[in-house]
Amino acid sequence: MSISSSVSGSSESSGRSGRQGPEPGRREARWAEALGMLAGVAIDAAFADPRRGHPVALFGTAAAALEKRVYGDARSRGVLYVGLCVGPMALLGYAATRGGNPVVRGVLSAAVTWSVLGGTTLGREGVAMAEFLEDGDLEGARGRLSHLCGRDPSRLEAPELARATVESIAENTSDAVVAPLFWGAVAGVPGLLAYRAINTLDAMVGHHNARYEHFGWAAARLDDVANFVPARITGLLTALAAPLTGGSVSEAAAVLRRDGHRHPSPNAGRCEAAFAGALDVTLGGTNVYGDRVEHRPEMGRGSKPEVQDIRRSVRLARAVGLAAAGLAVLAALRGTRR
């Protein structure tokens, strides 16, 4: 990086320090983005997702329209589709934060962080499921499950509804909280927008079925890559937070090590295994998705989840989210000194 003000005597000072930090304007911008990310976390905690005009929903609508134009039963078509969806989002974030007033960048960072996080909504959905099941309202709980996952709830009883809820909370703690914060710390607003685009595409087309087996391959694999590190951070933070819900750090860590790799997903298993160990329950089993049945290995050493474990999982997810937010902001601020 060229800094015009350092030309005079630069060789001597460079010899002492070995490297130079960012110019003041860039440092202020990074501070603004980091504090904006913290503000976005606070806004999400206070207001959750906007009910109307959610940016992620608007992106999904545009992506669905584009799919109709570029779809083809081939991986190459899927790669093109992902590139046309994710690339513009990253470029939009870069263009919006290039130069400009630090205050504007901070406000933009806060708004984007709020729009891509889903931790508060995830917790509210978990509490809603717990309330239905506590009231014995199986039909209400079955109808609500679609807000958390794509399993067929029509024949699920309370224990299986509880298991589905806990597993969804575990996985989405990474997808909706830790991962976006991680990419926000790494790449600022462009990272936030690109990650949310990748994760949304995976939810839309990253499925094993006749239509998307080939076309959705790129979206699914890119999502695996984007979540590789965040999922493992989620597992570690979950193990450390286990005592907050009556669990043991050592037990959660042991289950994470033993069972985290057994899940079909290279990332979801780390989250679910850590939650299973922290809550002292057993997750996994048979899941039905429409006409597709999956038999997943069991993770954990406790009993199957019960209704009361849903609220415990929500508390655990909130603790992990707060820890991840703190780490992300610290990491982003540390980047201002490098």
> Which tens digit of pLDDT belongs to each residue from 36-71?
999 999 999 999 987 777 889 999 999 999 999 999
Question: What number of other Cβ atoms are within 10 A of residue 137's Cβ?
Answer: 13
Model confidence pLDDT, tens digit, residues 74-102:
999 999 999 999 999 999 999 988 876 88
Query: In the predicted model, is pLDDT for residue 5 greater than 50?
Result: no
CA distances from 202 to 108, 197, 290 (A): 25, 9, 18
Q: What's the rounded Cα separation, in Å, for the pair 218 and 163?
A: 30
Radius of gyration of the chain (CA): 22
Give helix then strand counts, H and E, for the chain: 13, 2
Which whole number is the average pLDDT over 196-210?
94
Cβ-proximal residues to 104 (8 Å cutoff; 6+ apart), any chain: none
The answer to whether residues 307 and 160 touch, using CB atoms and an 8 Å cutoff, is: no
Q: What's the rounded Cα separation, in Å, for the pair 320 and 334?
A: 21
pTM equals 0.88
The answer to whether residues 69 and 129 touch, using CB atoms and an 8 Å cutoff, is: no
Burial class of residue 70, CB neighbours in 10 A (0-12, 13-18, 19+): middle
Query: In the predicted model, is pLDDT for residue 242 greater than 90?
Result: yes
Model confidence pLDDT, tens digit, residues 8-41:
333 333 344 444 445 556 778 788 889 999 999 9
**Residue 283's beta-bridge partner residues?**
299
